[in-house]
Amino acid sequence: MTRPAWLIPDLAPDQVCLAVAPSRTSPEVDDFLAAAQATTEITADAVSTHG
C-alpha cells in the first residue's frame, strides 16, 4: 500500500493545519478559516475546562 502524498506524519492526530495560497483567497475561504479558528478556540476551552 502506498501512502498519500499529502500525509504529514509528524502531526498528532488531533491537529489540523490549514493553508491557502494568497492567490486562491476569497471571502468564502476567509469565512471558512475564521470558523475553523473559532472552533479551535472553543475546543481548546472545553478541553482545558473539562480535561
**pLDDT by position in tens, the chain (length 51):** 565 566 666 656 667 788 889 898 899 999 998 998 888 877 666 656 655
9, part of any domain: no
Please give the tally of structural domains in the chain: 1
Q: Is there a contact between 51 and 33 (Cβ–Cβ < 8 Å)?
A: no
Q: Which domain holds residue 46?
A: 15-51
Query: Quick one: CA torsion of 25, 10, 1, 4, rounded to 10 degrees?
Result: 10
37, part of any domain: yes
29, part of any domain: yes
5, part of any domain: no
* Cβ contacts of 34 within 8 Å, gap of 6 or more: none
**pLDDT for res 31:** 93
**pLDDT for res 46:** 61
Q: Is there a contact between 37 and 20 (Cβ–Cβ < 8 Å)?
A: no
45, part of any domain: yes
36, part of any domain: yes
The pTM assigned to this predicted structure is 0.52
